Amino acid sequence: MSLQDAVQKLAKDAVKLAKSAKVVGLGSGSTVAHIVREMAKLPGKESIEFIPTSLQIKLEAEKSALRLVGEERIPDIDIVFDGADQIDSKFNMIKGGGGALLREKILISAAKRVVIVADATKFVQSFNRSVPIEVHPMARSAVHKKLSEIGGRPELRTLDKGYPFVTENGNIIFDTTFPSIPDPKKKEVELKSIAGVLEVGLFTRRADVYYKAKDDGTFDTIAF
């Protein structure tokens, strides 16, 4: 038994939550890809509309013959499935490791229910990793300066060969380390007030269900 077994089991369990949904939001990442493949097995999947946040998941959904719709259906999302990079003891999250934080936050903000799937290592007492911050390219220097002034250590995200990582929205990402984040909601508001910052990888809306995959092949469900 392994973590992979746990992810496959929880994906089977999680998709049951979408049975009565008409519009489903799909986050990004490998765990969501498992959920997409399970969605393909749902009876009556033809009556469900799906909105992906990334090209990776859009391609996975196309392979699974899911019915994809555009952003005009976002206000009607019944449930969204997504992953997380870290989840603290109060269930705040850091997301955006894959670069889709702006689209993910739009879907999560609109959804009636939110389901988060992550492996046990992502659950921490308090955040100890960088926060992805999506920034308009024109604001690169100004935002870098502002983030440094408020105690952050911003690093421009780059690809293997040194080219800047560009999001699907045409923006750049500063992975920014802070000494501590005692109040994630306050920090989210502070960062979003910087001109040129388009979205912040601090997600402070508590999900309705969290699935925690464990490396012994089992999973826990935390529901609110």
**CA–CA distance from 79 to each of 11, 82, 89, 128, 173 (Å)?**
14, 10, 23, 29, 27
Name the token pair of 116: 């988060």
Looking at 104, 134, 188, 199, which residue is catalytic?
A: 104
Secondary-structure breakdown of the chain: helix, strand, coil percentages, each rounded to the nearest 5: 35, 25, 40
- Distance in angstroms (rounded) separating the CA atoms of residues 1 and 112: 34
Neighbours of 101 (CB within 10 A): 29
Burial of 135 (0-12, 13-18, 19+ CB in 10 A): buried
49 is catalytic: no
Which DSSP string corresponds to 172-199? EEEEEE-S--S-HHHHHHHHHTSTTEEE
- Distance in angstroms (rounded) separating the CA atoms of residues 141 and 179: 22
Report the catalytic residues: 104
